[in-house]
Amino acid sequence: MTPQEFNFVREKLKERSGLVLSEEKRYLIESRLDPVAKSNQFGSLSDLIQAIMKPGSEKLRAEVTEAMTINESFFFRDKTPFENLEEVMLPHMIAARAASKRIRIWCAAASTGQEPYSIAMIIRKMVGKMPGWRHDIIGTDLSNDVLEKAKAGLYSQFEVQRGLPVQLLVKNFKQVGSLWQIDNALRAMIQFKTFNLLNSFAPLGTFDIVFCRNVLIYFDQPTKKDVLNRICKQLTPDGFLVLGAAETLVGLSDEYKPVSGRRGLYQVAGAADAGAAAGALGSVRSNAASALTRSARVS
């Protein structure tokens, strides 16, 4: 791959997906596009790149973009966001949305579906506290291929062993040959859509919670700022934004504030601090439990 070919691929990726590849990421082009070259009967990676440089190669360019933007995913990745969902975000919404009994959640980089299905499992766990609620989970990704896998909800033994506790596997999946398929009720909770984060978010509607994890790290500063500010416009006034462990809003946006004591969790600026409220609730519960224990000892 010549410098000219590398720069062409890099420019097209930035233009089509926002993905920014530095010089040291050259190996990614080779590892991810070699299979594309072979499946399209090109003799080499250079032949593939020369083909997409020509007019009329839109279908091939789309295939190249998909191959370069596929990200690894697994169930309950990093744990903390899902703990925050169960302990802060959903309790806040249960109180704040008691009248409408509806919550909308967007997974902005759904990949093969593990993140939205992990969210659905948390909601199922809390269903006793949310009788009659409607839960809309939208999972979007640039790649059609990964979304087809997500819709099918079929995972290998290796995939379900990554981050998924055995009890949740047994409760939420059925075995289909050598694979595991998530049950129909959870699949019905999620709507998967092909979507490019560079496009307008308006058609997606508003959300109470947005998971945008491990996406911003691939964008340059102007694109990060643009995406974050446009997400904020789609959030409800007390809505939450969830970022990845390696991502931060420092120097990028003043539209959000960190939730107290909760890593990677942000609220729209001006909203009441849900983290402090959750901490206060935990303190009340702890004090109540201690009081009951003391009372039992006295009696």
If you write DSSP's letter for every residue of 55-72 in order, what string do you get?
A: TT-HHHHHHHHHHHH---
pLDDT of residue 276: 63
Q: Is the pLDDT of residue 189 over 70?
A: yes
* Two tokens, residue 196: 């490019």
Whole-number Cα distances in Å, 176 to 94, 188, 250: 36, 18, 46
CA end-to-end span of the chain, whole Å?
Answer: 80
pLDDT of residue 24: 80
Q: Is the pLDDT of residue 136 over 70?
A: yes
What CATH number has the domain spanning 3-69? 1.10.155
Lowest mean pLDDT among 84-93, 131-140, 151-160, 277-286: 277-286
For the sheet with 173-176, list strands across it. Answer: 154-155, 179-182, 173-176
Radius of gyration of the chain measured on its C-alpha atoms = 22
Confidence band (pLDDT; 50, 70, 90) for 268?
Answer: very high
Q: What's phi and psi for 96, nearest 5 deg? A: -80, -25
Q: Domain limits of the chain?
A: 3-69, 80-277
Helices (H), the chain: 3-17, 26-39, 45-52, 58-69, 80-84, 90-96, 114-125, 144-152, 157-161, 166-172, 184-188, 221-234, 274-298
Q: What's phi and psi for 49, nearest 5 deg? A: -65, -40
For the chain, what percent of residues have pLDDT higher than 90? 70
* Mean pLDDT, the chain, whole residue set: 89
pLDDT of residue 156: 94
Confidence band (pLDDT; 50, 70, 90) for 279?
Answer: low
**H or E element that contains 209:** strand 207-211
What CATH number has the domain spanning 80-277? 3.40.50.150
Region of residue 30 (phi > 0: left; psi between -120 and 50: alpha; otherwise: beta): alpha
pLDDT of residue 72: 75
Confidence band (pLDDT; 50, 70, 90) for 43?
Answer: very high
Residues 236-257 have a mean pLDDT of 94
Q: Is the pLDDT of residue 289 over 60?
A: no
Only one residue has tokens 């997974």, namely 107
Q: Is the pLDDT of residue 285 over 80?
A: no
pLDDT of residue 246: 85
* Partners of 193 in beta bridges: 140
**Nearest CA among 194, 270, 263, 199 for reference residue 231:** 199
Tell me the pTM: 0.85
Q: Biggest alpha carbon distance in the chain?
A: 85
Q: Are strands 173-176 and 235-242 parallel, antiparallel or unpaired?
A: unpaired
Confidence band (pLDDT; 50, 70, 90) for 278?
Answer: low
